[in-house]
Structure 1
């Protein structure tokens, strides 16, 4: 299971998600942080 997780999930799925959603994820994180600070 360890070989499957490190050999497939990380390089193919995780990096694929990062490459395709880096900008959207960054925006979502920044928006979330801004909303959180605004709520305080």
Structure 2
């Protein structure tokens, strides 16, 4: 019974961390994209 709850909790935590990583990756991509467009305008 307790192990079930523990499993469920870790699964939820994994989902949260993967979501957070995805968000961080997207913001990194946006920043890189912005820097690249700035670089293109300087060419």
TM-score by length of 2: 0.47
Rg larger in 1 or in 2?
Answer: 2
* Stretches of structure 1 lacking an aligned partner (at least 5 in a row): 1-15
CA RMSD of aligned residues (A): 2.1
Number of equivalenced pairs: 24
* Stretches of structure 2 lacking an aligned partner (at least 5 in a row): 1-6, 33-43
C-alpha distance in structure 2 between counterparts of 1:27 and 1:33, whole Å: 10
The 4+ residue runs of structure 1 with deviation greater than 6 A are none
